[in-house]
Chain A
């Protein structure tokens, strides 16, 4: 899990037994923000970002992964996905191809181009199953490719495999 400056300071202040409100005042952040950051910092589970514009698919997948004890965050379009990745620094991204505003390929390309996010593994999810789509996805840096509808057990296995492969 990657940390920004605020996170580091929060960790330092917590080690000095500072209170929540003191930390908030010190860092000039709202208390709720500090609280979220603390809960995030204290969460040691693997963090997965699911990007899908289909809310039902998103919800079902989220529940399935939560039951597997993953920490799941979500985004519903390409732009939101890029913002979430920068803010949350997930351990893995499940990326749907057909997305509003910025499609899956473009999101993948942008993440792989930026140094800070290039090492985050990406698994593409889509209802399209044409071979050319798979090849394109892999070529621009996706780590794996799963077609909808998928078997949840298979997806979990692939997630674990990708994580094993990419985590040092």
Chain B
């Protein structure tokens, strides 16, 4: 039962752990995919955000220059510079602002050192965009080109009209480095990937990790045309938004790229982030770590729970066992008590049948004597002397029978607690004197001296006079029976600790130590012959004890074999 419970709990525990582990592993795979997806999404959002900011920045600059162009339609080039200074300082992000007159010569600009004033565009063969704006009358933008002052920049050109008269073009240069510093440099945390930006043709505008590539095409300088990175670049050049993986030969790592197009005026650029795939693994690992922690906690809870259950069960079992044990021992105890009670009952039964057999023997014996005697008396040839002898036998046995019956009745009353005492103040010296009167004859016949010693002023006791006389007679008669001819019996009374003690000592045969305890038992006789000779019923001392007990007194015997016995009792 006990081990069964444990096995069941262990099986449940193992099953639970298996289920949890299985679910954990399954989630593992899902988590990997989700984390990857989320990570890519996050990178994409970063690029989107950067792209949007760059777009709005550039568009804002276009609008600004357009407004400026409208304002400056009727302002002479000499006066333009002050306005340029205003705009340059109010709106950050311009590298330089200038004016090209209708002949294609830069006539005004700020800051002067970056403005190349006096440069003839036509003469230096840089007038493509200028000519197109002059013809179309529309704002234009240029691809990023190497600037005179260094770096790469794009030019915004807005034609200026005074009425319908073309006056020239207001141009502003925006350095790409300004954009990248503002919007790209801080996109990626250091050490966790980098951001870059390309033009439609695949030229690098900005690359956080490879600054040497800026202004160059990636394909050919960074990767081959059929590399996985080239595919990403292709998607970027087509103006797509998305994420993708590529393999970097130099680092030997897998990278994740996320890209978003930047569309402003008629330019198509692309902002991208590039992150090693191991970053995702890091994230996944941290998720895994948390998952493992969760798994471990759940398993621990399951184990602790199961262990607790087992502990509880075993405690239960123990308490049950203890209870069963105590109950069993109770039962055993009860059985023992029952067995004892049974043995005692049997003993009592034996005692009873012994008693009945004793009584029947004691009753039948005088009857046998009487019957035979009566029959002898009836015989014709019986002499007168014999008849008298027989008559004596009959009378003696009738007396004996009567005594026996009386003793039996008394004993029955004593044993059933029906002994009635007629209590009064009794003077024990008078009781002794009366008793002596009764037994004197028997003593004289055996030539036994009765020595009576009674102190003067013996206090009286509460008791039944008749019954106490009977006790003294019984004890004294016993003494006479067991004392040989010419012996001596002394009867003494004294006061002792508020009690009155009566002692009857004889010079008789005495009682063996092992027999002493039995003398107050009914039908106990030290020596059958002597007892029979003396005509005792074997009930006398039992009755004496009963009477003294009923008076709440004590009766006792002292004896030494061959030297005599002393019987005594004390009464309150």
Contacts and interface: CB of A to CB of B under 8 A. Distances in A.
13 contacts: A54-B369, A56-B396, A56-B397, A57-B369, A60-B369, A60-B390, A64-B375, A100-B532, A127-B365, A128-B360, A128-B361, A152-B372, A153-B375
A57 B365 contact: yes
A55 B533 contact: yes
A40 interface: no
Interface stretch (B327-335, B376-384, B538-546): B376-384
Given A56-B393, A57-B372, A63-B382, A149 B529 contact: no
Given A64-B372, A127-B364, A149-B372, 15 more contacts: A53-B529, A54-B532, A55-B532, A57-B365, A63-B376, A64-B376, A64-B379, A67-B379, A100-B527, A127-B365, A149-B367, A149-B368, A150-B368, A151-B375, A152-B371
Contacts of A60: 369, 372-373, 376, 390, 393
B386 A63 contact: yes
Contacts of B357: 128, 130
A61 interface: yes
Contacts of B397: 56
B393 A148 contact: no
B528 interface: yes
Interface string B517-543: 000000000011100110000000000
B393 A54 contact: no
Interface string A96-114: 0010110000000000000
Contacts of B321: none
Most A CB within 10 A of own CB, among B361, B365, B366, B371: B365
Most B CB within 10 A of own CB, among A53, A60, A150, A152: A60
A151 B375 CA distance: 8
Interface of A: 53-57, 59-61, 63-64, 67, 76-77, 98, 100-101, 127-128, 130, 148-153
Contacts, number: 80
A150 B368 CA distance: 7
**10 smallest beta-carbon distances between A and B, as pairs:** A148-B368, A127-B364, A149-B368, A60-B372, A56-B369, A100-B529, A149-B371, A60-B373, A152-B375, A57-B369
Interface in B375-429: 375-376, 379, 381-382, 386, 389-390, 393, 396-397
Interface in B78-95: none
Contacts of A76: 529
Nearest to B373: A60
A59 B379 contact: no
Interface of A is mostly: loop
Contact of B360 (A53, A63, A127): A127
Contacts of A149: 364, 367-368, 370-372
B361 A98 contact: yes
A53 B532 contact: yes
A109 to B, nearest CB: 20
Contacts of B529: 53, 76-77, 100-101
B156 to A, nearest CB: 148
Given A128-B361, A151-B375, A100 B528 contact: yes
A140 to B, nearest CB: 20
A138 to B, nearest CB: 20
Contacts of A57: 365, 368-369, 372
Contact of B371 (A98, A101, A128, A150): A150
Contacts of B360: 127-128
A109 B239 CA distance: 142
Most A CB within 10 A of own CB, among B357, B364, B368, B532: B368
A73 B370 CA distance: 21
A63 B389 CA distance: 9
Nearest to B374: A60
Most B CB within 10 A of own CB, among A53, A63, A98: A63
B383 to A, nearest CB: 9
Contacts of A54: 365, 368-369, 532
Contacts of A153: 375
B137 to A, nearest CB: 158
A153 B397 CA distance: 21
Contacts of B396: 56
Contact of A148 (B365, B375, B386): B365
Contacts of A128: 357, 360-361
B393 A59 contact: yes
Nearest to B533: A55
A56 B373 CA distance: 9
